[in-house]
Amino acid sequence: MSSNGNNGHIPFVDLVTLHKELQDELVPVFRTALETAGFIGGPMVEQFEMNFATFCDARHCVGVSSGTDALRFALMAAGVQPGEVVITVPNTFIATTEAISQAGARPAFVDIDERTYNMDPAKLQEILETECSLDRETGRPFHRGLQKTISAVVPVHLYGQMADMDPILELARRYNLIVVEDACQAHGAEYFSAKENRWCKAGSMGHAAAFSFYPGKNLGACGEGGAVTTNDAEIARKIRMLRDHGQSKKYYHDIEGYNGRLDSIQAGILHVKLGHLPEWNRKRQEAARRYNDLLSSVDRVIAPYEPEWSRAVYHLYVIRVQDREGLQKHLADAHIGTGIHYPVPLHLQKSYAECGHKLGDFPVTEAVASEILSLPMYPQLQLAQQCRTVEGTTEFVAAGSLR
């Protein structure tokens, strides 16, 4: 994961070069923490929270210990209750649904759009209109099959591209649903809201949003970390309690909470890296454009689709080919790292066997999951490395190996 690309190897992700480049800025963060023994909370966390809220155009940011906790706390603080249903997509990392279950709710799925690979709002509408009855007391949909109330929807901004938020938010308004954005892969991504007639940042559109700072993310810590952004002061207040054992002040526990804080060293590191994030995202966007150009003449390879309303930040650059395993092996033989995000849709994972889903339930996700391949993508990626990756892909296609 973090090889630095020596010996002609093109790593899938290069975290070594990035941290070498930043050493002079990062080492003082550790020194400050050691000299002040400020390891938990304090000014480094508060400063980062303020800056990240500003970056996301959100009023509040609460640092937490991971993206998974950010999702769980956001759902709980926004009002999801045990026994309710939360809708999301099957084409995401399992943390999305783990957080829903950990909040006491039951995840349910809606299929994705064939081109963006994100939640298909038309299919969400279909579920709400055809599989649910309106509960007049709550104004919320009651799912007849599950015999439970749907209280929230979690659109995932996968691969660094935002979900089509206008129609999702419109449905949420109509059905009184909570919206928690899973922005764990989308730091800095933007969506043009026709309704608001402006570009909106990931993390500013739902009731709350969750970010992950896992090291390989566009904004990554040197360890674990996450954050919730929200424009709702009450949600922010509840999350501050949830992350810190339910305390409203030291040793006064209004509720039972969790040990889910963002530590000060990680906050200090994130503060330094946030200063570089706009440039890193621009470099990822440039690299994506170069891949698009290089791949435009390669038959039977589908490049990522970016609608007019999207400014994606390319956490991942995901192509679609028929013999994905064959191409992955061919590139591995040429010392080019790739990834698959994700090979098994969540509804077909063993962990969700009791939900009773079968092959064919979410056909778009299933088709996409069997053909996607993530190519090397990071701000330091060189043109020559991209050319070699595309050459390897072209060779494989030209050899007629794709059927």
Ligand X SMILES: Cc1ncc(COP(=O)(O)O)c(C=O)c1O
Site string for ligand X, 206-235 (x = CB under 6 A): ------x-x-----------x---------
Q: Does 67 bind ligand X (CB under 6 A)?
A: yes
3-state SS, 307-344, equals CCCEECCCCCEEEECCCHHHHHHHHHHCCECCECCCCC
Q: Sign of torsion, CA 42 48 54 59?
A: negative
Q: How far is the CB of 339 from ligand X (least distance, A)?
A: 12
Q: Does 185 bind ligand X (CB under 6 A)?
A: yes
Write the CB contacts of 288 (distance below 8 Å, at least 6 apart in sequence): 304, 312, 314, 317, 377
Q: How far is the CB of 40 from ligand X (least distance, A)?
A: 19
Q: Does 374 bind ligand X (CB under 6 A)?
A: no
Q: Is the peptide bond before 258 cis (omega within 30 degrees of 0)?
A: no
d(CA 214, CA 285): 20
Complex with ligand X: residue 55 or 211, whichever CB lies closer: 211
Q: Restricting to residues 132-171, which ones interact with ligand X according to CB under 6 A? A: 156
Q: Does 339 bind ligand X (CB under 6 A)?
A: no
Q: Does 288 bind ligand X (CB under 6 A)?
A: no
Q: How far is CA 135 from the centre of its chain?
A: 31
In the chain, the N- to C-terminal Cα span, in Å, equals 30
Complex with ligand X: residue 141 or 304, whichever CB lies closer: 304
- Only one of the segments 108-116, 143-151, 180-188, 358-366 lies at the binding site for ligand X (rule: CB under 6 A); that segment is 180-188
DSSP code per residue over 113-172: PTTT-SB-HHHHHHHHHHSEEEETTTTEEEETTTTEEEEEE--B-GGG----HHHHHHHH
Q: How far is the CB of 341 from ligand X (least distance, A)?
A: 8
Site string for ligand X, 77-116 (x = CB under 6 A): ---------------xx-xx--------------------
Q: How far is the CB of 71 from ligand X (least distance, A)?
A: 6
- Give the binding site for ligand X (CB under 6 A): 66-68, 92-93, 95-96, 156, 182, 184-185, 212, 214, 226
